[in-house]
Structure 1
């Protein structure tokens, strides 16, 4: 049963990482949940001192606004492919135009463009970035999404500005 303990510890560490990325203390989780989640219980789950059911794990991840799949590692081949893709596509930062999306406006993003919403969800999952406030995408990514939407990049950017889903751009 050593594997179960190690897996519980790993999941607990991931829970803690996601909670901290959301900027929440244990006490703030208790307050945010209206007392449904006790700080001491969350801490016990994070230390793997207490077992958590899949249902409770799913509910906690919903509170954190993160998919439950974020707690489970990708297979090694996918990790290798992702790393190679990042190396291949990395460019000089000064050559990139960057768009920062306001993730507090996810509902507007989804109604504006399901393609953009899917891309943002994938980026969050791939990066493991659960802070939930902003997400930065390269101009080339935004251009690809615009093409999928059947729009010129300038038209798509204007649409994003009009719907106020951009936090900033440069």
Structure 2
């Protein structure tokens, strides 16, 4: 197993993190208040320009990810940064109690996580639940899927009432 990280892997990681955050090269230049030019970031992402440690730290801070994320073979942390994700608790609970449903076990897990979130927030309306980034990360871990796949599944199952923007 090769534990050395290549420049191309770091370059690909930079692009993957930026695109996961739905940022264009120009967006990053604006976000950095001009400290990181779009053309320079593009050069880093193509591996055409050498990335210093100082610049890697600055980019990681700008993206709000651990700098170690750039130098590991782990997939980038998937971030959903705006809007709301609202799920239908009634449908989840009905399907969790329906042992004939094809995704019965998955719904049981989702219902348990949702109950824990409701209790921790003392949100007792019982019909819908707004999910935060950390909730989506937990569900992603539980299902062993990236957040985007979790959101697709929730949408396909028609339990996603409002999808995040961005």
Question: When the two structures are superposed, what TM-score results if normalisation uses the length of structure 1?
Answer: 0.48
Where is the helix percentage greater, Structure 1 or Structure 2?
Answer: 1
Question: When the two structures are superposed, what TM-score results if normalisation uses the length of structure 2?
Answer: 0.49
